[in-house]
Structure 1
Amino acid sequence: MKVKLMTALCFLLINSGMLNAQVKDQKMGELIDQQFKFADQQYKVLAKNLPADVMPKTYNATTDKVVTSNTAWWCSGFFPGSLFYIYEYTQDAEILAEAKRRLTILEKEKNNKGTHDLGFMMYCSFGNAYRLLHDPAYKDIIEASAASLSTRYHPAAKVIQSWNSSDRWVGPVIIDNMMNLELLSWVSDHDGDKKYKEIAVNHANSTIKNHYRPDYSAYHVLDYNMETGEVLKKVNWQGYADESAWSRGQAWGLYGFTMMYRFTKDKQYLDQAIHIANFMLNDPNMPADMIPYWDYDAPEIPNTYRDASAGAIMASALLELAQYSNKAESKKYLDASEKAIRTLASDTYRSKLGENGGFLLKHGVGFLGQNSEVDVPLTYGDYYFLEALHRYKEWYL
């Protein structure tokens, strides 16, 4: 682990000055065009490295193999979702065909009541498919997925349970769960059951009430008594320590509350998102290139890992938050997002064609505490990088 860390840090330090020469002054339209054209070719490499019945998670450089999962894994929707973003830009029929093939193996998860992650799995995939192709069968699948997700809601506690109960947890709810509220809200707003949006609102309100510290950093996991709503404990399962700020968790919350404002226009969600954004951008440990360390409070900073996935999620969320903010805040969020996008597009973070198993980004961190997916590509990092490119093009060019 120490050797791997030193190698990664040396690479980042050597290349940190390359951003200026590569992408600092490039017009964003040209940069976005280059990134999507690259993604079109690189994801064909990834598809060829991928068996037909599984989805990609990451890449193991030691074995030169793509690490895969079955469709029940929480990341299963990101590969087809990324393909649809690429297809939307390039109109490449081969990319579209691959996306449809992956939807075919994913569809059965619409009935999966054992996970809270159906938003990631089914909205990032079938949601993008329906947005682009308008196939009513896709909408039916999205609606069925929302029905399955709603079964994990506990009315007394007003939250959607994340993981199942175990010896460690009574009723765990993780900050990541904010992301899955988009599925519920979208279905309610598109002729579906109105109770789904009510569930999303109640969960978001409980998250504001219980998940956040006074400085607007978030815990990763809250353990609830689901019969009373009592919070039994607050911990950082994937962060450095229980009172630290795990970077991807902060990005999930930023994205989630910005998205909830889009669906409700409830100002408390916009205010919450602004507070979270300001916490992240003003943190003294936020690097100038806008790619966070894996935890804002990791004691080894600056001699520790960055998390490209947290940077990509943050970049995409800030682009939307800038749409709803006043002029000064909007410029701040747009500038920070653009800096993150440019950094991710540089050679420091973006793969070369044919390398990295076919993934786009390098230097993601999954779960450092368990030495799981450390300094590797992550399928959700790619997805939110592509979404950020798409949003920038749609909203700011």
Structure 2
Amino acid sequence: MRNCVRLLSLLVLLTLALGCGNVSPEKKRDSTFNVNAQLEYCADQAAKTLLLIPNDSSSLPRNIAHDSKEWRFIDYKDWTSGFWPGTLWYLYEGTNDKKWEKEADAFSRYLTPLSVTPALDHDIGFQVFNSFGNGYRLTGNPEYKDIILKAADTLATLFNPKVGTILSWPRDVPNMEWPQHNTIMDNMINLELLFWASKNGGDKSLYDMAASHADVTMRNHFRPDFTSYHVVIYDRESGKKIKAVTHQGYEDESMWARGQGWAIYGYTMVYRETGDKKYLDWAQKVAQVYLDRLPEDLIPYWDFSAPDIPKAPRDASAAALVASALLELTTLTKDADLAKMYADKAEKMIVELSENYLSKEKNSAFLLHSTGHKPAGSEIDYSINYADYYYIEALLRLKKLKAQKS
């Protein structure tokens, strides 16, 4: 009976979404981009996905191959497990429909064990803050707060004070000099969990850990032109830098698109959380080199040095991530000209994704053409859950920005 009720409610959601008049990606771009229509499109697609998820509570959608309509499902331990419940929370925020809140709550709760088990790796922030963090922001549910605080303490166990950063992969990964200390650029995003916890009942040392991680990464992860390495390996006893590599990029000295996106998003967030202008300055510098090297349509190739450009795979996930980051950077920068440039670029990225990268009839994700880990031959030209998460986040941020200007 429970499954039948759920099925009926999802069919209602799907019916409502289908009648909302999605914007056509073939439609010529104009100055009146309809954010609400794109949010309705996302609701439509998510409703379809809900109907495809097995009743098994461990099933969370991660990706769809370019030639398939079938989701690959993962359990709560996967590093991407927080993106699907986070997307549902954003749908609740965008629609104020309690049906999305119910689904978001259910899928978030699948991740509860992450807060009470030893840290598998650094991705606890992606997993718990995207799910329970968004849930607490929107509902104030004290159960969510307790889970977030426990998760922050779990993440803190990976902090090495001799290095000054959080260990990313506590296991043997090729070329990482295990058991030395590795830190990846993606790890910047997890600092938000520590900052938040330090201000909401957690130990104040969590703030210091997050700031230390941002500072050490700033010193060691970037080249003189402000492009970033993916990974830095440190001596776990002395804290000395051993080497820097670009694990998921074309080569060690290339700018991997999503890695630079993590840097832009991460340092923007750190400035928001600390108010320290050095982080704002850094966010602007790492954003500028990314913007300067984009192709005309503003959607990056998976790596800016890929030898087969313009035939190289694109990465819609990096585009959505950076668009969202730029919209936040717009609200933080004190330079009016820079703020306008960031807002204009971000909106153009979102419009391009909305016109030429929507999944629509091909599958039930939001976006096509993301690249996960090309050197490993993984998720090339796929629909991926984190691309969808940052796309809907960017849409909501753009809507708020437009509302403030009107």
TM (norm. structure 2) is: 0.89
- Residue 202 of structure 1 corresponds to 212
* Correspondent of 2:344 among 317, 321, 335: 335
SS at match of 2:210: helix
* Residues 1:306 and 2:314 are matched in the alignment: yes
Give the counterpart letter for 1:281 in structure 2. Answer: L
Identity of aligned residues (%): 41
* Residues 1:49 and 2:35 are matched in the alignment: no
* Residues 1:394 and 2:404 are matched in the alignment: no
* Correspondent of 1:224 among 234, 244, 247: 234
* Residues 1:123 and 2:123 are matched in the alignment: no
- Residue 249 of structure 1 corresponds to 259
Give the counterpart letter for 1:114 in structure 2. Answer: L
Report if the CA contact (8 A) 1:127-1:142 is conserved: yes
- Residue 193 of structure 1 corresponds to 203
Q: Once the 2 structures are TM-superposed, how far is the Cα of residue 140 of structure 1 from its aligned partner?
A: 0.5
Report if the CA contact (8 A) 1:316-1:385 is conserved: yes
Q: Once the 2 structures are TM-superposed, how far is the Cα of residue 171 of structure 1 from its aligned partner?
A: 1.6
SS at match of 2:110: helix
Give the counterpart letter for 2:83 in structure 1. Answer: F
Report if the CA contact (8 A) 2:66-2:381 is conserved: no
- Distance across 1 between alignment mates of 2:360 and 2:63: 16
Q: Once the 2 structures are TM-superposed, how far is the Cα of residue 23 of structure 1 from its aligned partner?
A: 5.5
Q: Once the 2 structures are TM-superposed, how far is the Cα of residue 167 of structure 1 from its aligned partner?
A: 6.5
- Residue 182 of structure 1 corresponds to 192
SS at match of 2:103: helix
- Distance across 2 between alignment mates of 1:148 and 1:192: 12
Report if the CA contact (8 A) 1:165-1:172 is conserved: no
Q: Once the 2 structures are TM-superposed, how far is the Cα of residue 106 of structure 1 from its aligned partner?
A: 1.1
- Distance across 2 between alignment mates of 1:195 and 1:396: 37
- Residue 3 of structure 1 corresponds to none
Question: Which ranges of structure 1 fall in alignment gaps of 5 or more residues?
Answer: 1-17
CA deviation string 1:122-153 (max 9, x = no partner): 00110110111110110111101100000000
SS at match of 1:68: strand
Alignment of 1:1-397 (within 5 A): 22=27, 24-28=29-33, 31-51=34-54, 52-62=57-67, 64-112=69-117, 113-166=119-172, 168=174, 169=176, 170-283=180-293, 286-325=294-333, 326-346=335-355, 348-353=356-361, 355-356=362-363, 358-397=364-403
Report if the CA contact (8 A) 2:66-2:368 is conserved: no
SS at match of 2:304: coil
- Residue 14 of structure 2 corresponds to none
Give the counterpart letter for 1:34 in structure 2. Answer: A
Question: Which ranges of structure 2 fall in alignment gaps of 5 or more residues?
Answer: 1-23
CA deviation string 1:284-306 (max 9, x = no partner): xx112211110011111111111
Task: Decide which moves more: 103-112 or 137-146.
Answer: 103-112
SS at match of 1:24: coil
CA deviation string 1:37-85 (max 9, x = no partner): 1111210111121223221110135453211111011100000000011
Report if the CA contact (8 A) 2:257-2:304 is conserved: yes
Taking structure 1 as reference, are residues 394 and 167 closer, same or farther at Cα in structure 2, changes over 3 Å only?
A: closer
TM (norm. structure 1) is: 0.91
Report if the CA contact (8 A) 1:165-1:171 is conserved: no
Give the counterpart letter for 2:94 in structure 1. Answer: Y
Task: Decide which moves more: 58-67 or 286-295.
Answer: 58-67
Report if the CA contact (8 A) 2:229-2:252 is conserved: yes
- Distance across 1 between alignment mates of 2:68 and 2:129: 32
Give the counterpart letter for 1:116 in structure 2. Answer: H
Report if the CA contact (8 A) 1:244-1:297 is conserved: yes
Report if the CA contact (8 A) 1:40-1:95 is conserved: no
- Distance across 2 between alignment mates of 1:396 and 1:345: 17
Q: How many residues align?
A: 372
Q: Once the 2 structures are TM-superposed, how far is the Cα of residue 22 of structure 1 from its aligned partner?
A: 2.1
- Distance across 2 between alignment mates of 1:147 and 1:66: 33
